Structure 1
Amino acid sequence: MGEIEYAAAIAQARERLAALGVTAKTGDLASAAAVGITELVWRNGPIEDAHAGARGRRNKLHDGVMFARNTWVYHQALEALNSTDQYALLRFEKRILDREFVWPGTSGTLTQFGYGALGEIKKHAKKRIDYLMYLQEEFSQEEFFLLAALHGFGAWDHFGMPAWEPRVRAAMDRLRGQDPGFVERLRIDYEIDFSVILKRAPAVVHDNLPEVERALLNAPYELGAETLNWFAWNPVLDRHP
């Protein structure tokens, strides 16, 4: 990508993020960049291919595990972006490629969950970290963040982006029984009985909804992969059920 293309990409990112209320001045540009880095380095790669196929089923790499892992990786990316250490991205790389570290929210490791694709996962991550380090060296901090954030535009309402909080608040209203329209839409349009979904909810959803809300807003992996799997497999967090 030449200088002209980079300039156009930076302008595009700045415009699109500003429309979401994300700018350097509002202080959440680093968060958007962390989402982009999570997508680029981790989520959209061999680990997702493994998750989506038979290997994912064999390795028990289900949606809840991915939910937990992706939100944890985001926090590591954000820490690297906020660091003044010039080698922070390399520390980030080492951390996410650690094969023996137990993934927060799970009882497994990269060795277990990525079995059969470990070499591909490492190659993918290292190549993209090299690219990010090039951008970090060539551009100002704001421009680097904008270029990194470009890779997260498909995740504009994921954890770490401004639209995530409204999704969580809406889900809490639904779980508290304060959104009868949602229940009716599920029943009429999709023939889904929301009360059945609720009966299958993890204990924490019934016993400590404030804790569920806090974790979803700040660190979803703290809820554990099994609870997150329940959220992944029902429409309560959906924008348009």
Structure 2
Amino acid sequence: MGEFDHEATITHTTEVLQRLGVSTQAGNLANAAAVGITQLVWRNGPIEDAHAGARGRRNQLHDGVMFARNTWVYHQALEAVTSNKPYALLELEDRLLDRHLVWPGTSRTLKQFGYGVLGELDKHTKRMINGLMGFQRRFTDEEFCTLAALNGLLGAEDHFGMPAWEPRVHAAMTRLRGQDAAFTERLKTRYDLDFTQWLDKAPPVVHTDLPEAERALLSAPYELGADELDWFAWNPVLTRDHL
């Protein structure tokens, strides 16, 4: 978050976002900003380092937990971005760093999942929030959201909260219903997986209430639960081109 030509950055970022279907006219710039804030403040920090290493295994910080947490953080970030409160970002900071709040979709807390990196998490989150507040004071709401969204353009263009997420979920539902022959063939040739056997390992909600699974994935994935999301995480069913 150093010095840069903010006018050129805002212009370029606006053009990129528009190609992704994001604009103030589309009414989803705040959503993209929430994705960017999630990436900056939470996802791409000490918690990801912990998740990727031995500490993550010890703390049971598996892919499903990360999926649930990241999508919950997105909702908190969106609330902060759209709030009229002058210190909404500080309220976001407090929520993210609450060591006793049970993470939605799980039965554990930051104190448990983040054991060993709690101090680093505090420093990282506070530093990123402080930087965002500086931008918020300096720029208009639209400019701030554009700059915040910039943080989500590398690797998060089709994450939850972005326009491309909805078609990903709809495609997944078609595949889970056995209506995508190309995907079924790809499972066999690329992953050596039989479709029926692969589907048998899906969480119960896929078998008993697929519309509910679709609803949750579109609106609040953490409501499915971290263990259920662990099956979806890095699963080819949610990829755009089933690669």
State the TM-score, normalized to the length of structure 1.
0.97
> 1:23 and 2:26 equivalent?
no
What is the CA-CA distance between 1:194 and the residue it aligns to?
2.3
Question: Is the helix fraction higher in 1 or 2?
Answer: 1
| Residue in 2 that maps onto 1:11 | 11
Q: Counterparts of 1:22 and 1:233 in 2: how far apart (Å)? A: 25
Whole-angstrom distance in 1 between the partners of 2:234 and 2:15: 34
SS in structure 2 opposite 1:188?
Answer: helix
Asked if 2 retains the 8 angstrom alpha-carbon contact of 1:197 and 1:234, the reply is: no
Where does residue 95 of structure 1 map in the other structure?
Answer: 95
Q: Is the 8 A contact 1:167 1:239 kept in 2?
A: yes
Which amino acid counterpart does residue 195 of structure 1 have in structure 2?
T
Moved over 3 A (4+): none
Match status 1:213 vs 2:214: yes
Structure 2 equivalent of residue 156 of structure 1: 157
Alignment of 1:56-135 (within 5 A): 56-135=56-135
Q: Which amino acid aligns with 1:180?
A: A
CA contact (8 A) 1:14 1:23 kept: yes
1:167 is aligned to: 168
Offset of residue 238 of structure 1: 1.2
Instruction: Check conservation: 1:59, 1:114, Cα contact below 8 A.
Output: yes
Deviation of the 1:191 alpha carbon: 2.0
Q: Deviations over 1:162-184 (max 9, x none)?
A: 00000000000001111111101
1:48 is matched with 48
Letter in 1 for 2:208: D
Q: How far apart, CA to CA, are the structure 2 residues paired with 1:189 and 1:30? A: 38
**Structure 2 length normalisation: TM-score?**
0.97
In structure 1, C-alpha distance between the alignment counterparts of 2:158 and 2:201, rounded to whole Å = 26
1:163-216 Cα deviation digits (max 9, x unpaired) = 000000000000111111110122123322222221111111100000000000
Match of 2:204 in 1: 203
1:128-147 counterparts in 2 under 5 A? 128-147=128-147
**8 Å contact kept, 1:47–1:114:** yes
Offset at residue 233 of structure 1 (A): 4.5
Gaps of 5+ in 1: none
Structure 2: any 5+ residue segments left out of the alignment? none
User: How many residues were matched structurally?
Assistant: 240
For 2:33, give the aligned amino acid: A
RMSD of aligned residue pairs (Cα, Å): 0.9
Distance in 1, matches of 2:230 and 2:145, equals 31
Distance in 2, matches of 1:227 and 1:89, equals: 30
Distance 1:60 1:43 in 2: 17
Q: Where does residue 184 of structure 1 map in the other structure?
A: 185
